[in-house]
Amino acid sequence: MLDVNFSFFDPQPQDYHSIKLLLSQLLGHVDAATGDLDLAGVTDLVLEQKLVGSTVKTDSGEDDDKANEGDPYAVLTVLNLNVHKDKPAISSLIKYLLSKLDSPASSAFHAQLSALLQNPVGEEAEAKKQQHVGLVLSERMVNMPTQIVPPMYRMLQEELQWAVEDKEPYNFSHLLFLSRVFLSSTAALEDDPNAALEQAIVAEAGLRSSQVAAPKKKKQRKGATKDERDDEKVWMYHPEDEFIQKFAEYKHVYNYTRSRRQGQDGAGDDFGVEQRGQLMLVPWAKFAEVVAGMEDFVGAAVA
């Protein structure tokens, strides 16, 4: 077994391209490439935040400076959408996210988020408690161990507390979690519980798919009914998202503007995995409980 150590660092300027790639993965490579989103601008904003956010890099155990120069394999940070909503990169991102809530099923979510984003900032907000939305951006490379997640969230909780004590604009009433999910039929999972996840991992690799052997399409198990074959359910890429959604005031799974199942030529890919995005709105009052319970949940999920 290969023994790999990981270290945690603040986002650094040299992390720009890796963080941008992780954000592209988080938003669905296809949607991120349409030109409607300014991921370069979002990445710049992540790097400009000096008090909040962390990355994970491999550590040889000999030289922290050398480890810091490496590429990040995971990132976690929070952006204040109210404070930054007039910046073009965040304005386009907000427009994109709200468009994914523009359906009867998510109308209440859309109304609540829209109202929260209208809350004032700066001196205008001093007269009352700030009611801002923090967008949680959390993503990691394929096959990164889930065990890195709880300490990242503990650090984020501490950083946010210190930032508020320093009068920085991180007073939130809600946190908006952005994540990815995939669809797989019940019959597929019963036949081979790991097959759909393996397919999802390959699909998750996206631009790196040439370096990963694509799993063969498997046959449906004998005796599977049509309903079982057709009954696709939503599965989380990351175990912690299943825990976070328990605290969500609203949650919604949305289709990407352009499906990951369909390439430029209109042909279906060989992975058989349909990726979608998910938004979860969690009251800030629940965040401490999320952080406190995440380690036990993640430990049970990967055991």
CB 170 within 8 A of CB 163: yes
For 289, the domain range is 5-178+238-254+283-302
Domains in the chain, number: 1
Residue 138 lies in a domain: yes
Residue 105 lies in a domain: yes
CB 146 within 8 A of CB 239: yes
> What is the rounded CA–CA span in Å between residue 176 and residue 78?
9
Each of the 303 residues of the chain gets a pLDDT tens digit; together they read 456 788 999 999 999 999 999 999 999 887 777 778 999 999 999 999 989 999 999 875 565 566 567 889 999 999 999 999 999 999 999 999 999 999 999 999 999 999 999 998 876 656 456 789 999 999 999 888 899 999 999 999 999 999 999 989 999 999 999 999 988 766 665 555 455 555 555 444 443 333 333 333 334 444 545 554 456 788 888 999 999 999 999 999 999 887 655 444 433 333 457 889 999 999 999 999 999 999 899 876 655
150: amino acid identity, one letter: P
> What is the rounded CA–CA span in Å between residue 108 and residue 220?
39
Residue 98 lies in a domain: yes
Token pair of 85 as six digits = 């909503």
Residue 222 lies in a domain: no
Residue 34 lies in a domain: yes
**Any idea what the Cα angle at residue 149 is, between residues 147 and 152, rounded to 5°?**
125
> What is the rounded CA–CA span in Å between residue 292 and residue 303?
19
**Single pTM value for the model:** 0.82
State the CATH number of the domain containing residue 167: 3.40.630
Helix (H) or strand (E) holding 81: helix 81-84
Residue 43 lies in a domain: yes
Residue 107 lies in a domain: yes
Residue 275 lies in a domain: no
Per DSSP, 268 falls in state B
